[in-house]
């Protein structure tokens, strides 16, 4: 269910436990997070951005881990250069190693738990702003999905405002991006399991085609609509990667 392999451990990894889950933070996680937030602002704003990225991805992966624990699967969390992974571990059963077989609905539940953990964090931050007497100005995507534009806080100054905005933007915008049906995003795994339920024989191949097409469309939209070269490159790469997987998968038949 997870397409990326965990990176090799290094002597510079940060390791700790959160709610009983081992957490490893690869040093390149900090580097890439800083590069993504280096477009503007000073060192303090950059540190605030990196903190927001760290908290947001950790909560996202914690959502996956808690959902896996609900189905009896121990796991560990790894934050690395391209985001995060929640890696299931082998279960010991009668002295032998075994993996838990999950139904399509269970796989979907685990996949959705990550983005929705982020949405819950965003809701708590938004509620905290409101209860403190502040406000968040938002634009509404499709008329219903709030995307934060700016925040007004009675306390904390520019630093707290920057942290609030970063947490809201990462957990809402990138949470929605994560639901796009493109591998290896969570939406790609949801699409795979939905199509497998509808067509057990050909569901995987169809999900790869969905990933190729939607990934290509997102790359075009990212460049021409959002004006984001990063989005264009990201989804272009994911679409190409899905096309390669499709060729390998189709070659089996």
| Ramachandran sector of residue 95 (left: φ over 0; alpha: ψ -120 to 50; beta: rest) | left
Write out pLDDT tens, residues 74-120: 999 999 988 899 998 764 333 344 456 789 999 999 999 999 999 99
Residue 193: its pLDDT value, please?
A: 97
Q: Give the model's pLDDT for residue 146.
A: 81
What's the token pair of residue 189? 């795994």
If phi over 0 gives left and psi between -120 and 50 gives alpha, with beta otherwise, what is residue 118?
alpha
Q: Give 126-130's long-range contacts (Cβ < 8 A, gap of 24+).
A: 126/168, 129/153, 129/164
Ordered mean pLDDT values, 10 residues apiece, the chain (253 residues): 63 95 95 83 90 97 96 93 84 44 92 97 96 91 80 90 95 95 96 96 95 97 88 94 91 63
The pLDDT mean for the chain works out to 89
């Amino acid at each position: 269910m997870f397409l990326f392999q965990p990176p090799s451990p290094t002597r510079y990894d940060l390791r700790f436990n959160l709610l009983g889950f081992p957490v490893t933070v690869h040093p390149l996680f900090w580097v890439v997070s800083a590069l993504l937030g280096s477009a503007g602002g000073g060192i303090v704003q950059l540190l605030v951005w990196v903190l927001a990225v760290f908290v947001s991805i950790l909560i996202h992966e914690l959502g996956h881990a808690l959902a896996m624990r609900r189905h009896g699967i121990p796991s560990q969390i790894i934050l690395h250069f391209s985001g995060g992974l929640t890696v299931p571990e082998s279960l010991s059963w009668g002295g032998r190693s075994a993996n838990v077989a999950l139904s399509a609905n269970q796989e979907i539940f685990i996949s959705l738990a990550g983005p929705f953990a982020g949405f819950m964090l965003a809701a708590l931050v938004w509620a905290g702003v409101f209860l403190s007497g502040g406000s968040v100005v938002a634009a509404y995507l499709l008329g219903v999905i709030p995307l934060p534009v700016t925040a007004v806080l009675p306390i904390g100054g520019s630093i707290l405002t920057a942290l609030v905005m970063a947490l809201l933007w990462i957990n809402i915008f990138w949470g929605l991006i994560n639901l796009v049906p493109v591998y290896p995003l969570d939406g790609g795994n949801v699409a795979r399991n939905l199509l497998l339920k509808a067509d057990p024989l050909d569901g995987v191949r169809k999900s790869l085609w969905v990933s190729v097409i939607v990934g290509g469309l997102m790359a075009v939209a990212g460049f021409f609509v959002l004006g984001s070269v990063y989005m264009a490159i990201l989804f272009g790469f994911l679409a190409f990667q899905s096309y390669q997987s499709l060729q390998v998968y189709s070659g089996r038949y």
